[in-house]
Amino acid sequence: MEHLEEINGNFIHDIIDADLAAGVNDTVHTRFPPEPNGYLHIGSAKAIYINYSTAKKYGGLFNLRYDDTNPVKEDDEYVQSIYEDLCWLGANPSGGVFYGSDYFDQCYEFALKLIRDGKAYVCDLTAEEMKEYRGTLTEPGKNSPYRDRSVEENLDLFIRMKNGEFPDGSKTLRAKIDMASPNMNMRDPAIYRIVRAHHHRQGDKWCIYPLYDYAHPIQDALEGITYSLCSLEFENHRPLYEWVVDNIGFERKPKQREFARLNVTYTVMSKRYLRKLVEEKLVDGWDDPRMPTICGLRRRGYTPAAIFDFVKRAGVAKAYSIVDYELLEHCIREELNATAARRIAILDPIKLVITNYPEDQVEYFPVSNNPNDPDAGTRDVVFAREVYIDRSDFAEVPPPKYFRLKPDGEVRLMGAYIVKCQEIVKNDDGSIKEIRFTADLETRNNKPIDGRKVKGTIHWVAAKYAKDIEIALYDKLFTIPNLNDMAEGETYDDYLNRDSVKLLKGCKAEASLSDENDRRYQFVRTGYFIKDSKNDNRFIRIVDLKDSFGK
């Protein structure tokens, strides 16, 4: 994976370095544990980068493990999309692909062990009662009236829970820890609940399911994970993680460490809300180019290298921060400026007729494929009597210091001739039908001119040989940079940018524009574009040319 060759050090690597030096571990084994209840997003890319690059740096292994312990929200569609996104990013799971549900038998046996050891009990409190008994941040909780059931009774009840004898939600298995703990997560947390739901892998085998805080450390330990690297909201869950590992009795204990999540301006990372956008058809699916999903960024034309470059520049730390979306745009713009082939496209075409150019004449002008890459060579662009230019490049009543086309003004058609406005032909409604010009035929192919200053150069395509295309211009999905700034009572919907896509039909492009789906272009003077994988005739703007990051 070329874009991960240089891996920045961070506080996590400092911890690992110290452990290796002290002999705590002799290998590094990490994992990425997504829940298959939605598509991965740009925030997931940070977790992938940290876990994958850490394993790579130390010559270790990296696992993909689906956290599929909640059958209600999970689906094979998400399982497939996660694997596809991970591989597209280049973070291939060198340690293997696993499913949390494949450990259900072990989780169940370990639960029986905790019961036998007097460290877990079956509780009949309802969810509301458990919340009431739990206490507050300043007041300790109260013991459940079922906390002191005998080992024999707890074993009997838990086995009967597994056998489906009790209604959903009527009983839970809870770890017996400390209801007075200052850490709310240690106040006898539930580790099993009754849920009758069809599981995408296990079918109807189980009607009890382990909760994440119980199942996850078991999965890590069974897979030989040495470092469980997760986002900061799990920091207060770490004592429970360690309690599970210690009390089940694993000799080799994984170490959980936390980092700050990736927050990006103008972006929402909530899978629930992203799913809402999809289900209510407010966007064109999970891969809509406005979505912060990995597949949306892929369709938009972003590359794995640019995404991981963005993550690296955003940094790996423990402090909360929100990163400018413009940094992500800067990363892809910087890459494409060096690599993207140049082509000419006219987004809002207006016809220019060169009256002194022979009607049946055609000639070709060499144009650079990428001025930043001499090895990219040139291509021949066809020129004829009628060409299209962009409407924005002509002003009938020009403002001061206007150096593009105007009445009696001269400009150079890029790589071709200097032309001068002769006549404006209008439609009945007053709109411009075409503009007639004369060309200085002595100025062919950028030939210098003595004594004449022509400041403007504009792009063009030959009308007869132009390719008809559509252009999709996407804007940010939300109207304010920080969605945490919402006032009380407001929702994400209040700031959804419902004018975030503009579709331009009737655009014109040079004939050499390729039909390859994964080919990225700079449309000269316009921006960077990629063919839409869902529409053979449409090109999506990846990012415009203007770089506002850091300004």
Task: Give the residue numbers marked as catalytic.
Answer: 35, 261, 271
**Residue 331: how many CB atoms within 10 A of its CB?**
24
Q: Are 463 and 529 in contact (CB under 8 A)?
A: no
* Distance, C-alpha 440 to centroid of its chain: 50
CB within 8 Å of 190: residues ≥ 6 apart? 123, 130, 172, 173, 174, 211
CB within 8 Å of 433: residues ≥ 6 apart? 351, 425, 426, 427
CB within 8 Å of 489: residues ≥ 6 apart? none
**H-helix or E-strand spanning residue 488:** none
Q: Are 123 and 172 in contact (CB under 8 A)?
A: yes
Strands across the sheet containing 208-210:
120-123, 172-175, 190-194, 208-210
Beta bridge partners, 255, equal 227
Give the E-state strand segments of 49-153 in sequence order.
61-66, 96-99, 120-123
Specify the DSSP class assigned to residue 511: T
Both tokens of 473, joined, read: 């211009």
Dihedral, 107, 111, 114, 118 alpha carbons, nearest 10: 170
